[in-house]
Structure 1
Amino acid sequence: MEYNDAIKNRLRRMEGQLRGVLNMMEQQKDCREVVTQLSAIRSAVDRAIGTIVASNLESCIRTELDQGNEPNHVIKEAVEMLVKSR
């Protein structure tokens, strides 16, 4: 699968957020602020996972259909990946 620049940029933003949390910890910021930022990072990771799975699912379904197959197993696998990521 090819990953586009949008998803890579999203991950770079998360990387920056994570560095920011480390800086907050080094500065002894209030735990509520740290947890708030960590929650935002977790939400961003969840959205990135959803985007990657959705893009991959679309590609896999098209491949299965082009080969004359039913894409049921691909869909089931994608759902399992999403459930497992939570």
Structure 2
Amino acid sequence: MTERKEDGWFYAKRYGYGTGLPRTWQGWLVTALFIALILIGAAFIAPLSQLAFIAYVIPLTLAFLVIAAKTTSGGWKWRWGKDREGGTW
């Protein structure tokens, strides 16, 4: 079975392109985990080497963006402020 786009983890943005706020516990968990991993890296990796921290942050950010893109209600597309697909918040 495939997951319906209306049941995504994140709301679609009303204006522009991309993801809005999380709408399910899974979305909030992914967001909290992403933020926690960035903060852990900032505390332990950044003081040692800024280049290592950048190399740590880039894959984390790309993984978060892929997850958000695949689980956004209505998908990622340009929106001009009409009603949001997948509900409102």
TM-score, length-normalised on structure 2?
0.49
Which letter maps to 2:38? Answer: L
More helix by share: 1
In structure 1, distance between residues paired with 2:59 and 2:28: 17
Give every structure 1 segment of 4 or more consecutive aligned residues whose post-TM-superposition deviation is greater than 4 Å.
none
How far, CA to CA, are the matches of 1:9 and 1:51 in structure 2?
15
Superposed CA deviations along residues 4-62 of structure 1, whole A, max 9, x for unmatched, are 2111111111011111122022xx22233211211122113312430342xx117xxxx
Amino acid at match of 2:41: V
More relative contact order, 1 or 2 (CA 8 Å, 6+ apart):
2
- Asked if 1:79 corresponds to 2:77, the answer is yes
> How many Å separate the matches in 2 of 1:46 and 1:37?
15
Q: Which runs of 5+ in 2 are unaligned?
A: 1-10, 12-21, 80-89
Alignment of 1:40-51 (within 5 A): 40-51=59-70
Paired residue total: 58
Q: Give RMSD over aligned pairs.
A: 2.5
Q: Could you tell me which amino acid in structure 1 is paired with residue 39 of structure 2?
A: R
